[in-house]
């Protein structure tokens, strides 16, 4: 499946500021340590940091998979944030979609357009392949809901069930 369409590299779209710029690119296995560090940061922000089960080897393997999409934002070469998604079949639509997992921007890089840039690049990747993007957002995360509405997302209320039989 090396020729899987989701493996295409998204176009570079730097966000330019007076002193620096942010570039977004598809993360690969060599970016596993940086991505894992940010995954642990978001886990610590949202709950217990030990909720992240996978280690460096797991992330190295995942970032090599064509159905795993992680776009990495770097400002002056330093990781500033990421958006992660998995390509999966949506039975009702009868085709693949991107299931967005996380959008995370590190403290110090927030409110500078990095999140919008990451979502714009994910949207461009999805649009090239005719894919919809689906995700959940916590009901009490009003700031995120405002952000997603400004992007043009349609927010729907639903209860999310998670089961480990």
SS3 labels along 63-120: CCCCCEEEEEEEECCEEEEEEEEEEEEECCCCEEEEEEEEEEECCCCCCCCHHHHHHH
Fold assignment, 5-151:
Aminopeptidase (3.40.630)
With contact defined as beta carbons under 8 Å apart, do 138 and 103 qualify?
A: no
Domain boundaries, the chain: 5-151
pLDDT tens digits in sequence order for the chain, 165 residues long: 333 333 334 444 445 444 568 999 999 999 999 999 999 999 988 877 677 888 999 999 999 999 999 999 999 999 999 999 999 999 998 999 999 999 999 999 999 999 999 999 999 999 999 999 998 888 888 988 898 999 888 888 877 777 678
């Amino acid at each position: 499946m090396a020729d899987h369409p989701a493996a295409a590299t998204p176009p570079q779209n730097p966000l330019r500021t007076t002193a620096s710029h942010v570039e977004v690119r598809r993360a690969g296995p060599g970016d596993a340590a940086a991505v894992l560090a940010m995954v642990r940061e978001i886990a610590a922000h949202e709950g217990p940091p030990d909720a992240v089960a996978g280690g460096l080897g797991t992330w190295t393997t995942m970032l090599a998979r064509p159905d795993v999409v992680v776009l990495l934002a770097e400002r002056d070469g330093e990781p500033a944030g990421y958006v992660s998604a998995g390509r999966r079949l949506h039975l009702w639509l009868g085709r693949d979609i991107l299931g967005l997992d996380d959008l995370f921007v590190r403290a110090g890089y927030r409110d500078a357009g990095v999140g919008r840039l990451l979502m714009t690049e994910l949207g461009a990747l999805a649009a090239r392949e005719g894919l919809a993007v689906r995700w959940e957002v916590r009901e009490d995360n009003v700031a995120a809901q405002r952000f997603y509405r400004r992007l043009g997302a349609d927010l729907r209320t639903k209860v999310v069930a998670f089961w480990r039989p």
